[in-house]
Amino acid sequence: MPAWLKDAVFYEIYPQSYCDTNSDGIGDLQGIIEKLDYIHDLGFNALWLNPCFDSPFKDAGYDVRDYKKIAPRYGTNADAVRLFEEAHRRGMHVLFDLVAGHTSEEHAWFRESSKAEKNPLSGRYIWSDFCFQGMDGYRIIAGEAERSATYMINFFKCQPALNYGFLHKTEPWQTATDDPDAVATVEALKDVIRFWLDLGLDGFRVDMADSLVKGDDEKKSGTSAVWRNVRAMLDAEYPEAAFVSEWSCPEQALPAGFHMDFILNNSDQAFGTLVRDYQNHTDRIVQSGNGFIGNGKPSPAYEDHSYFKKDAGGTVTKFTAQYAPMLQRTKKDGYISLISGNHDTVRLRYSLSYDELKLFYAFLFTMPGVPFLYYGDEIGMRYLNLPTKEGGYFRTGSRTPMQWNHGANYGFSDADSSAIYLPQDPSADAPTVEDQAKDPDSLLNTVKALIALRHAHSDLQADADFSSVFASDENPLFVYRRGDLIAAVNPSGSSRSTVLPSVYRRNMKALYTIGTGSYSNGRVTLGPQSFALFCPDD
Ligand code: NOJ
């Protein structure tokens, strides 16, 4: 386990939208380099960049055409190396995004694999043995290749699935996981990993990490075996490299070899009860046409009862019931990563106010594991209702260019505003970094204070003990212990209090508060919409 993860706080950057330094309307690596001081000053010490490799961008770069080449619109491989060096100089680490399950249909491997004549890459993807042959339970493309076969896709049409083999073979055209073709795919993946780690990269976020092996791999034993193989290579050759999975099942992903796994928006993940926008479904969030659900009014079917929404009647108990045992079961294997949102989710600001966001971030940055914040969430950028771009669909509204200041294009780019990657927030009160930096009570400065608190107290970091001390369906207070510290949050609009069990009957003093909080002889009282972190008063 790389030791640096203990105190890592990640910032996710969608490279298209962060900072444009060559005036083409799209962000670039040089822009990220120029903003490293800003990111570092906020307290983030690690970055995750969405895919920045050569791509036709039919899925925003998750359709990789060349894993070893930075997309020209972002710069060059030399710029990537400078980014690693500049980040390292500031004590920061950088993760790229590894799209392991599929490539672009324009990748050279796929072009070769599509040829009628058998060649060494014929088995790099999953092909049937006849042009009219379907694949039970999987999505296929027919009629596109020279080869008389259909092929499996992993996501969009542009993303043919790489062949890691089938756990249970039922058809003659399927290969086993130990077949030379499947083994060669794993070796090719390792080659990509080594290429970037050798250039100074610090690790990867792995896209759809659970999607590799096909053929009834429900329990993921086949896919897990691939990752354990990769992890053995990392432990031997790059022990400081960090891997985080998009798997959303730490109980599978961490034993499979990942150092961290995101808990995302799956409907069976109780994290989604804390902030509504983890319900990442087009039909639930945005309708096409002229507005949000119900033309601007929240749909009654999706009324927000999330915990951090003031007085919405949400409770924290579903979350604690799922999270606390999951943490116990997985902590020997790695970390759970909670997120503010990502490039696939509707921004939190869609449903939460600044005050609600402050409390959610207080929670996020005082929980175990390794937290991630999505660019722009530090100032509460809005979700915009926009037409799709680069395969974004409803996700497009969470991918708009960063709002730095009130200059042209909010300081994102010097290009003509008609040329920028996506339109920006047209509201008179659109949040900017410049405005919030001046206001000590802003969301931005709250994020900064919370991350500083985390760095200052090892009890708040990834490994330190966690237990839920008070969580109830009747009282909105949530009190939890981190090492010797006690955190408490009250998202409701009225003052709340509780008396903790006898082992907690002592006095503690507040180290940090949002709103008001006190802890006296085991009685914890929090003012309306408040958070407090208490330490022993000795
Ligand atoms: C998950 C990524 O986060 C998403 O943006 C992408 O569209 C799919 N995987 C396909 O790669």
| Residue 285 confidence (pLDDT) above 90 | no
Ligand 1 atom at minimum distance from 156 CA: 10
Write the DSSP symbol of residue 298: P
Q: Where are the extended beta strands (E) located within 8-50? A: 10-13, 46-49
| Residue 488 confidence (pLDDT) above 90 | yes
Give the model's pLDDT for residue 351. 83
Query: What's the pLDDT band for 294 if we cut at 50, 70, 90?
Result: very low
356 pairs with which residues across the strands?
Answer: none
Instruction: Give the largest Cα separation in the chain, rounded.
Output: 79
166 pairs with which residues across the strands?
Answer: 176, 214
Ligand 1 atom at minimum distance from 63 CA: 11
Query: What's the pLDDT band for 34 if we cut at 50, 70, 90?
Result: very high
Give the model's pLDDT for residue 276. 59
Distance 207 CA to ligand 1 centre (A): 6
Mean pLDDT of the chain: 93
Query: What's the pLDDT band for 295 if we cut at 50, 70, 90?
Result: very low
Please tell me the residue having the least CA distance from ligand 1 atom 5. Answer: 344
Distance 69 CA to ligand 1 centre (A): 19
Distance 470 CA to ligand 1 centre (A): 37
User: d(Cα 461, Cα 370) in Å, to the nearest integer?
Assistant: 8
Give the model's pLDDT for residue 312. 85
| Residue 286 confidence (pLDDT) above 50 | no
pLDDT per position as a tens digit, 88-119: 999 999 999 999 999 999 999 999 999 999 99
Give the model's pLDDT for residue 303. 61
Give the model's pLDDT for residue 35. 99
Ligand 1 atom at minimum distance from 342 CA: 3
User: d(Cα 353, Cα 223) in Å, to the nearest integer?
Assistant: 40
pLDDT more than 70, % of the chain: 94
Distance 259 CA to ligand 1 centre (A): 20
Query: What's the pLDDT band for 266 if we cut at 50, 70, 90?
Result: low
Distance 254 CA to ligand 1 centre (A): 20
Distance 208 CA to ligand 1 centre (A): 7
| Residue 178 confidence (pLDDT) above 70 | yes
Q: Is residue 98 within 8 Å of 206, Cβ to Cβ?
A: yes
Average pLDDT of the segment spanning 73-87:
98
Spatial neighbors of 250 by CB under 8 A, at least 6 apart, are 261, 263, 326, 330, 333, 334, 336
User: d(Cα 509, Cα 512) in Å, to the nearest integer?
Assistant: 9
Spatial neighbors of 169 by CB under 8 A, at least 6 apart, are 175, 176, 215
Q: Is residue 256 within 8 Å of 223, Cβ to Cβ?
A: yes
Ligand 1 site residues (CB inside 6 A) read: 59, 62, 99, 155, 207-208, 246, 343-344
Ligand 1 atom at minimum distance from 99 CA: 11
| Residue 277 confidence (pLDDT) above 90 | no
* Cα distance between the two ends of the chain: 35
Ligand 1 atom at minimum distance from 154 CA: 10
User: d(Cα 172, Cα 377) in Å, to the nearest integer?
Assistant: 49
Query: What's the pLDDT band for 265 if we cut at 50, 70, 90?
Result: low
| Residue 298 confidence (pLDDT) above 60 | no
Distance 210 CA to ligand 1 centre (A): 12
| Residue 19 confidence (pLDDT) above 90 | yes
Give the model's pLDDT for residue 270. 78
And the tokens for 471?
Answer: 């969580």
Write the DSSP symbol of residue 192: H
Please tell me the residue having the least CA distance from ligand 1 atom 11. Answer: 62
Distance 178 CA to ligand 1 centre (A): 27
For residue 330, give the amino acid letter: T
Give the model's pLDDT for residue 297. 45
Lowest mean pLDDT among 100-104, 349-353, 360-364: 349-353
Q: Closest Cα to residue 327, out of 183, 461, 465?
A: 465
Q: What is the DSSP string of 425-452?
A: --STT---HHHHHH-TTSHHHHHHHHHH
Q: Is residue 405 within 8 Å of 434, Cβ to Cβ?
A: yes
- Its pTM stands at 0.96
Please tell me the residue having the least CA distance from ligand 1 atom 2. Answer: 207
Please tell me the residue having the least CA distance from ligand 1 atom 4. Answer: 344
Query: What's the pLDDT band for 538 if we cut at 50, 70, 90?
Result: confident
Q: Which residues of 410-444 are buried (b: 16+ CB within 10 A; e: fewer)?
A: bbbbebeeeebbbebbeeeeebbbbbbbeeeebbb
Please tell me the residue having the least CA distance from ligand 1 atom 6. Answer: 62
pLDDT more than 90, % of the chain: 87
| Residue 287 confidence (pLDDT) above 50 | no
